[in-house]
């Protein structure tokens, strides 16, 4: 029970803290509506499982203890976030509420955007590795460990689905689309700053 409470507390605090996932879901939800925002949220939840998989099987500790491998992981993740930020920052297409839905990305693209934003995010890697190394015992079963991972994914899915629905509400979308240039540039700068800051994240071991 103590382990479950620890996982729940750490997960909730990590999930609700602003980051690349949050910025990306807001952008997709207000620009393209609830369907795209919810698909991105589902992609984020599935992306968490990438980190859970290599953590459970011990690969994460190898990555964290190898400066070269860890730096490569961070650079790939940071580059993807900076790319997303650049796309948002350089977007000059003003959309109306009616036009936005017609220019929405395809469902697979929306899902993959959420998936890769999370799967390539070293912040999530550090969170998952740190959580498992603190609360999972050496004699824990695989089923036990994966159950924690499923809880992490569920928490991400619930939170970011709520974020998507909030920012996709017609009144909220209208207000944000009216200020799209400012909002897009703000999100773009935030993503680029987050991506750049990840390069300087230190190894946890």
Please write the tens of the pLDDT for every residue from 35-53.
Answer: 999 999 999 999 999 988 8
The half-sphere exposure of 47 on its side-chain side, counting CA atoms within 13 A, is 28
Degrees (nearest 5) of the Cα angle 148, 151, 169? 160
Cβ-based neighbours of 56, under 8 Å, separated by 6 or more: 132, 142, 145, 146, 149
Which residues, including other chains, have CB under 8 Å from residue 28's CB and lie 6 or more apart? 36, 37, 40, 105, 110, 113, 114, 164
Q: What's the rounded Cα separation, in Å, for the pair 33 and 92? A: 19
Tens digits of residue pLDDT in 88-141: 788 776 655 555 555 778 899 999 999 999 998 877 887 787 777 666 665 667
Q: Return the beta strands (E) in the chain as ranges.
A: none
CB-side exposure of 109: number of CA atoms within 13 Å? 6
CA angle, 188 then 190 then 194, to 5°: 120
Tokens representing residue 43 in the block: 């992609």
Number of residues that make up the chain: 205
Determine the Cα–Cα distance for residues 59 and 51; give it in Å rounded to an integer: 10
Between the alpha carbon of residue 77 and those of residues 54, 89, 191, the distances in Å are 16, 18, 11
Is pLDDT above 60 for 31?
Answer: yes
Residue 202: is its pLDDT beyond 90? no
Query: pTM surpassing 0.85?
Result: no
Residue 128's CB is within 10 A of a number of other CB atoms, namely 25
Could you count the other beta carbons within 10 Å of the beta carbon of residue 21? 27
87 pLDDT tier (thresholds 50, 70, 90): confident
């Amino acid at each position: 029970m103590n382990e479950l409470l620890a996982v729940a507390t750490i997960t909730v605090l990590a999930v609700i803290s602003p980051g690349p996932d949050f910025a990306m879901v807001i952008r997709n939800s207000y620009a393209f509506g609830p369907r795209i925002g919810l698909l991105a949220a589902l992609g984020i939840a599935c992306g968490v499982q990438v980190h859970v998989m290599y953590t459970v099987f011990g690969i994460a500790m190898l990555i964290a203890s190898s400066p070269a491998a860890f730096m490569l992981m961070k650079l790939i993740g940071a580059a993807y976030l900076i790319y997303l930020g650049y796309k948002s920052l350089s977007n000059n297409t003003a959309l109306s509420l009616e036009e936005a839905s017609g220019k929405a990305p395809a469902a697979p693209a929306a899902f993959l955007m959420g998936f890769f934003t999370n799967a390539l995010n070293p912040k999530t890697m550090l969170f998952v590795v740190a959580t498992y190394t603190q609360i999972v015992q050496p004699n824990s079963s695989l089923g036990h460990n994966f159950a924690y991972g499923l809880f992490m994914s569920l928490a991400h899915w619930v939170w970011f689905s709520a974020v998507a629905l909030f920012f996709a509400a017609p009144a909220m979308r209208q207000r944000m689309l009216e200020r799209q240039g400012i909002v897009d540039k703000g999100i773009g700068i935030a993503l680029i700053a987050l991506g750049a800051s990840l390069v300087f994240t230190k190894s946890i071991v």
